[in-house]
Structure 1
Amino acid sequence: MARKKRRLLLIGAAGITLAIAMSLVLFALRDSIVFFYGPTEMAEKAPPLGTRLRIGGLVEQGSLIHEGSSTVTFAVTDLKQHIKVIYTGLLPDLFREGQGVVAEGTVEGPNLFHADTVLAKHDERYMPKDVADRLKRQGIWRDGEKSAQTQ
């Protein structure tokens, strides 16, 4: 076998091996990959019920309702759409209306989300990049300024 043919065969075998390894890794991680959506994206894409994902935005003013000792409902908004979130557990100390939030959980309905994790930020500067970019495009939030929602 010529040297050039052996080299091509070796490169081909290495490529196939790498492709198989990547396929196995992605297959193994498929359940732990969590997608991030804003309320508008979630309304447009309508993920299937039971889909695990993260949503982010601002906690809508006047939407926080305490139901019992540890269950709360609130709405996450990007000031275009909103999603009702149900969460059972202790809320972070920085959680309040008008502030940035990221919730991880499952889709329960078209505008209903059941969160098992809630992360709160003290202002929009620490919001996920996707949500901050969306708010900037809408003219709601700019670097170094408070959002219109919190003024």
Structure 2
Amino acid sequence: MSELIQEFEKTTTFKYFYSTLLEFDESLNCYVATEKWRNKEAELLTAAWWMFQERQATINQLNSVLNERTKEWIQAIECGTYFENVAKPLRVKNDALQKRIDEALFEMQQLSLMLSKDIDGYEDPAQICQSEGVDMGVRILEKALRGGS
């Protein structure tokens, strides 16, 4: 409170009403006159002090809200910076890897299809097993690469 009263005592209102015959009573939170004929000035200065306190409380509340919002904005900016510097490049890299995976799977499926066509009509069990093995391998690899189980 002493800091606040010091701020108040720097105001024009205080300087206008203050007299050496007025004292601040901290226990009553008001100005008191040392002489009865200065009671009116003490009352006016006390009213101004109370209004100053109310205004300062409002300012403190608004500053608190402003500080809170500033923190939120800083966090949002940091998140945006993180996205631009880390997440976005990772997304580009992920997309490139996904493209490579898709191309590799397509090639494997084409090879599997060609093998199946080559052995159609043959009764050689080894070739049939080889074709089925390649098909099964392609399916297992595709599931693993796409994240399936």
The alignment's TM-score, normalised by the length of structure 1, stands at 0.31
Q: Which has the higher contact order (CA 8 A, sep 6+)?
A: 1
More strand by share: 1
More helix by share: 2
The alignment's TM-score, normalised by the length of structure 2, stands at 0.31
* Structure exhibiting the larger radius of gyration computed from Cα positions: 2
